[in-house]
Structure 1
Amino acid sequence: MSLIAQQSNAIAENINKVSGVIASENVDTQHYQKCAKILKDTFGYAEFRAGQMEVIDKILNGQDALILLPTGGGKSLCYQVPALALEGITIVVSPLISLMQDQVQQLTAQGVKAAYLNSSQDAEESQQITEQLFRGELDLLYVAPERLLKSYFLNSLQRVKVSLIAVDEAHCVSHWGHDFRQDYRQLGRLKSQFQNVPFIALTATADHATQVDIQHQLQLENPFVFKGGFDRPNIRYNLLAKYKGFDQVVAFVKQQDGAAGIVYCNSRAKVDDLTQRLQSAGIKCDAYHAGRDTATREFVQTQFLKDDLQVVIATVAFGMGINKSNVRFVVHHDVPRSVESYYQETGRAGRDGMPAEALLLFDERDAARIKQWISTGTAPDRYDIEMHKFEAMEAFAEAQTCRRQVLLNYFSDYREEQCGNCDICLDPPKLFEGTTQAQQALSCVYRLKQDTSVQYVIDVLRGKSIRRILDNKHNELSTYGIGKDQSDNYWHNIIQQLIHQGLLRIDMTLSGILRINESARAVLKAERIVHLAVPKLSVDTSKRNKAEPVNIDRQLFAKLKHLRKQVAEEENVPAFVIFSDATLADMTDKMPTDKNQFIGVTGVGQTKLERYGEAFITLIEDYLGSR
């Protein structure tokens, strides 16, 4: 057995031993008391989430760690709390400028001495922060891997006491993870220069092979591995068959009552088109993609962070660096190429734990197109991996069982019970004997000589008097108008189901025309019964999300949001930096009228109590007095 294979087996054994469970060892009492005080006084939380204190205890004892927790699962506190408990500086390797800025902004609002160094700063600002570093005035310093690995910077760090090195988005170091930046792959060099410094690697998505590779690439020594569940129970997963996708997105966004959201498209042209449509519909939104200059992209992102834009329509380049906690929905206009991408992108909603929605529009033509891209544009050694990843995404979209179970099972986070908070659980598919509808659609495709698009088949079925149909005399076919009692969307959904059942296929080599499979012969000859699901034509957002707080006073919540917005504008920071939506919801439940009560609100630490307590307490007192 090779040395690498031996290392892999040892690491895998370590993962299997610790993954998904809370360590049984007792946490050091002094460590707990010290860190619990930091947690409450600085971050405003009364208790740690499962696994956090075990991780922190290991770090304080000098042990390396690998942390796998979902977005919003509390990864950052696993290094931020020890950074304040340890003497010296914690170096945080972070991939994106915007992500550094957001996190430092939130930390400074909580009274933490934090800063970042990146290319957005001029020489004078960088020098000021470097001097703060040398004077020991910082607890955390966020840097990009490119700067950290520079010889001059590594040499300068020898002048200070480095207490901890945290590698965020650690899947980027892996050969098996997401393609990203080469400098991430070089971070293993740091271990030899900081031999007695604990390293913590953090990521939200990493399959087994990636977990093994992260530890190997970073040269982690006997790391404590904590793998929390991947579930984001506050996110409600919805799927609709895509038909006139732009119109479907507009309708869904209008249902969101002004809440913040992100809409992903797979091309710049679609982003621009949808942005124009949403703006015409009165939605405050803007576009974000690589075709726009840097200044424009930064402006759009800033406006979104400050709640001056309701929606950003973007390519997948947007969002990785977004630390905005009050995103309430994510829409995928186009199907992602992997479950990992879908999970990461939907995870940008509901980071504060409050209810959030995810909507995926799925079309077999999109799926066929992506398979064609993978077949023609993927290196031979990556083809099987990329096709496997997309087929798993396709299976998620076509599932007729609890979507959360399908999603979590992909990450080996198996759940026996259905979630009760996805479209399948809330509105289970209602099957009907659809042989007649199947025969009508299949016959129409056949009589059109298997040489037309899905939409043209629908136009014939519904008996539309359009020029192309009349010119081709397709209005004389026996199938013309036999489906006129149903909508376009209905027939599109039926055809999608026939594709799922293998009766039809889309031929991308001939511009996506519909073809009949051999299995359809038995249906056309009435030798096989077809069962179909009653088509779902819209998402019902009126049903209560399981994560919605029961005791929320919506009138007070709206007033608190308005005050938060005013304070944020005065301080020129995003509103969620002042208080999260979850904190405002807790205020409506506890209705604190003095500082002793206010400090008991989740997310309120000493610094925020001193800065904002009086204004929010006064508002609550006035509200109670007016009732």
Structure 2
Amino acid sequence: MDTPTEALHRVFGYDSFRAGQQEIIDHVVEGGDALVLMPTGGGKSLCYQIPALVRPGVGVVVSPLIALMQDQVDALTALGVRAGFLNSTQDFDERQRVEAAFLAGELDLLYLAPERLRVETTLRLLAKGEISLFAIDEAHCVSQWGHDFRPDYLALSELHERWPEVPRIALTATATPATHAEIASRLRLEQARHFVASFDRPNIHYRITTKNEPKRQLLDFLRTEHPGEAGIVYCLSRSSVEKIAAFLADNGIAAVPYHAGLDNRTRAAHQARFLREDGLVVVATIAFGMGIDKPDVRFVAHLDLPKSVEGYYQETGRAGRDGLPATAWMAYGLHDVVQHRRLAMEGDDAHRRRQVLHLDAMLALCETVECRRVMLLDYFGQQDSKPCGNCDTCQAPPESWDGTVPAQKVLSTVLRLRRERGQKFGVGQIADILLGKKTAKVLQHGHDSLSVFGVGADLGNTEWHGVVRQLLAQGLLAVESDYGALVLTDASADVLRGQREVRLRRDAPRVARAKTAAKDRPVVELPAAAEPVFERLRAWRAATAKEQGVPAYVIFHDATLREIATLSPSTLAELGTVSGVGENKLAKYGDQVLETLAS
């Protein structure tokens, strides 16, 4: 039986563990329970895969990602790991074959959807075999604080009662201290050892910009910074997904939509294309991306404000899993704030409180003048971080200004409409009144006779929208749930009385980005002589992946191909020293790689 380090080298082709992995693996190998919080791309999978290879029996992995189980099993099979899955997509014969392999001890890992553990036949099957461990992946799904709450996960607490001697390891990339505590409680892992890795993803550049023709902003971002590269664009509505995907395709960017309104076949086809093709952009709702192990996603873009920092962190974490530079870009505007404030007021009191807390944290991240990464890490309980130098607020620190007087003008307008006219209006009418515009609506309601009419000529329309957006973000204005009308809050009075200063972030002017913007990003450079070699290796990998019907990264990651191109090994022994080239891949692809290098 291999030691963990031997399995790491022989199977996965790595010489050393990443930070935190070995301690977790040794603990589980020795039979201990573990709750692991580790960022996407941090190497969570190895924390249960290696113990499953080292301990006697089969590692049972509980995963909500039915659509990805085949790809997960294919990736392990390519490494020489004996893996299988049981889910609702299989026919009777397939399930029988996998069950027989499990009972015969011919599997190292078995993937199950959580709902299968509520079926007595599955529990009886597991009782007949030897289980090395239970791994509960995407463990935040058990938390009602999270955005992926899955009731089927609640039954997983029973695993310990049925198999008290089998170690359990629960893993997630997204957990605040409150979510962390809820996972431990619901899965009965309070006595488990808790491992919390750094949530920092230093290779991701975070950038949030104000909306100004968001479709064109997105197109400019893709063309100038990520031409021909794979990425994900998130929108909140299905119709937005369809429109943005069509817009990108019409403008020469390979893009496909993904949302729950598409039929299963179309969704599966688009997901398969994303995994198997280079440079495809998927425009999606939040339903897309969890568990996708595509390492070369170079950007994640948001055209709508995420509902929570947890959601934002998890979605942006799908970029740059290979450790190479990636971008998390968002266009954010007043409409986002109004819409989310209105939605946050729906539901019962407890739900409203949770939604408001989530939204306040997300808005604070958007409006901050401090380092965005420091705010993100602080949200997840990782305090005392230093400014990162790799986010927009670090690289181009925004100005803040005393917005007390403009804030008073806005709040006074809202107050006078309510007191003098018994009326409530949205931001457009407020801005028109302050700017002194005699529109048909202003004249119809006699708003040109208000004392505040025309007192805001010192700012432009866009600037007044920015002031309102930030007052909403700071809780100094609220939005009525029915019509989106602006109303005062309890905190408004202090501002109106001059007892509270209002600091506002100055929105950066819109500047056309140079076509060479991509060169500004830190990149891992290849020697000039290695560039054509790397491209030949990528072409070989693409052809091999297509022939086998698997994603290209299942063959080798880009980082591995870069190292091969740089080292240019001439023997199998030299190739075997490259990170990511394990025994099975060396035997399977070694000769082809050497032939490609020699061509």
- Place the TM-score, normalised by the shorter chain, in its bin: 0.7 to 0.9
Q: Is the 8 A contact 1:63 1:198 kept in 2?
A: yes
1:62 matched to which residue of 2?
Answer: 31
1:269 matched to which residue of 2?
Answer: 239
Partner secondary structure for residue 600 of structure 1:
coil
Structure 1: distance between partners of 2:160 and 2:275: 36
1:204 matched to which residue of 2?
Answer: 173
1:5 matched to which residue of 2?
Answer: none
1:535 matched to which residue of 2?
Answer: 508
2:227 matched to which residue of 1?
Answer: 257
1:549 matched to which residue of 2?
Answer: 524
2:105 matched to which residue of 1?
Answer: 136
Q: Is the 8 A contact 1:429 1:534 kept in 2?
A: yes
User: CA RMSD, aligned part only?
Assistant: 3.8
Q: Is the 8 A contact 2:407 2:495 kept in 1?
A: no
Say whether 1:617 aligns with 2:590.
no
Q: Give the Å deviation of 1:405.
A: 0.2
1:307 matched to which residue of 2?
Answer: 277
1:191 matched to which residue of 2?
Answer: 160
Matches within 5 A, 1:167-566: 167-220=136-189, 222-255=191-224, 256-307=226-277, 310-376=280-346, 378-430=347-399, 496=469, 510-511=483-484, 533=506, 535-537=508-510, 541-542=517-518, 544-546=520-522, 548-551=523-526, 553=528, 554-566=531-543
Whichever residue aligns with residue 368 of structure 1, its letter is V
Partner secondary structure for residue 282 of structure 1:
coil
Say whether 1:46 aligns with 2:21.
no
Structure 1: distance between partners of 2:189 and 2:153: 15
Q: CA offsets per residue over residues 29-86 of structure 1, 9 Å max, x none?
A: xx9x721111011111110112211111111211111111011111110110111112
Partner secondary structure for residue 327 of structure 1:
coil
Q: CA offsets per residue over residues 128-182 of structure 1, 9 Å max, x none?
A: 1111112221100001111133211211222221111111111223455445222
Partner secondary structure for residue 305 of structure 1:
helix
Partner secondary structure for residue 524 of structure 2:
coil
Matches within 5 A, 1:573-612: 573-612=550-589
Q: CA offsets per residue over residues 67-122 of structure 1, 9 Å max, x none?
A: 11011111110110111112211110111112322221211111111111111111
1:27 matched to which residue of 2?
Answer: none
Matches within 5 A, 1:16-165: 34-165=3-134
Partner secondary structure for residue 158 of structure 1:
helix
Q: Is the 8 A contact 1:285 1:309 kept in 2?
A: no
1:15 matched to which residue of 2?
Answer: none
Partner secondary structure for residue 241 of structure 2:
helix
Residues 281/441 of structure 1: CA separation in 2 closer, same or farther (3 Å cut):
farther
Q: CA offsets per residue over residues 535-594 of structure 1, 9 Å max, x none?
A: 153696536445x32556555444433332122111111111111122223234433333
Structure 1: distance between partners of 2:437 and 2:280: 38
Q: Is the 8 A contact 1:464 1:481 kept in 2?
A: no
Residues 497/597 of structure 1: CA separation in 2 closer, same or farther (3 Å cut):
same
Q: CA offsets per residue over residues 444-481 of structure 1, 9 Å max, x none?
A: 99999998766688899999999999999999x99799
Structure 1: distance between partners of 2:416 and 2:217: 31
Structure 2: distance between partners of 1:174 and 1:345: 17
Q: Is the 8 A contact 2:411 2:496 kept in 1?
A: no
Structure 2: distance between partners of 1:308 and 1:50: 30
Partner secondary structure for residue 542 of structure 1:
helix
Q: Which moved more, 1:437-446 or 1:99-108?
A: 437-446
Q: Which runs of 5+ in 2 are unaligned?
A: none
Whichever residue aligns with residue 40 of structure 1, its letter is H
Q: What is the number of residues matched between the two proteins?
A: 584
Partner secondary structure for residue 42 of structure 2:
coil
Partner secondary structure for residue 326 of structure 1:
coil
Whichever residue aligns with residue 94 of structure 2, its letter is E
Q: Give the Å deviation of 1:370.
A: 1.2
Q: Give the Å deviation of 1:369.
A: 1.6
Partner secondary structure for residue 400 of structure 1:
coil
Q: Is the 8 A contact 1:93 1:168 kept in 2?
A: yes
Q: Which moved more, 1:365-374 or 1:399-408?
A: 365-374
Structure 2: distance between partners of 1:152 and 1:582: 43
Q: Give the Å deviation of 1:505.
A: 7.2
Q: Give the Å deviation of 1:313.
A: 0.8
Structure 2: distance between partners of 1:212 and 1:444: 45
1:568 equivalent among 545, 557, 568: 545
Structure 2: distance between partners of 1:413 and 1:457: 41
Q: Give the Å deviation of 1:532.
A: 5.5
Q: Give the Å deviation of 1:306.
A: 0.9
Structure 1: distance between partners of 2:25 and 2:383: 27
Partner secondary structure for residue 319 of structure 2:
coil
Partner secondary structure for residue 74 of structure 1:
coil
Q: CA offsets per residue over residues 201-245 of structure 1, 9 Å max, x none?
A: 111122333333333333347322211011111111000112222
Residues 266/128 of structure 1: CA separation in 2 closer, same or farther (3 Å cut):
same
Q: Is the 8 A contact 1:164 1:199 kept in 2?
A: yes
Structure 2: distance between partners of 1:451 and 1:63: 60
Whichever residue aligns with residue 543 of structure 2, its letter is Q
Q: Give the Å deviation of 1:437.
A: 9.7
Q: Which moved more, 1:594-603 or 1:553-562?
A: 553-562
Q: Is the 8 A contact 2:140 2:179 kept in 1?
A: yes
Residues 397/155 of structure 1: CA separation in 2 closer, same or farther (3 Å cut):
same
Structure 1: distance between partners of 2:111 and 2:84: 6
Structure 2: distance between partners of 1:473 and 1:586: 72
Q: Is the 8 A contact 2:233 2:284 kept in 1?
A: yes
Partner secondary structure for residue 293 of structure 2:
coil
Q: Is the 8 A contact 1:402 1:418 kept in 2?
A: yes
Whichever residue aligns with residue 55 of structure 1, its letter is I
The TM-score normalised by the length of structure 2 is 0.85
Partner secondary structure for residue 348 of structure 1:
coil
Q: Give the Å deviation of 1:127.
A: 1.1
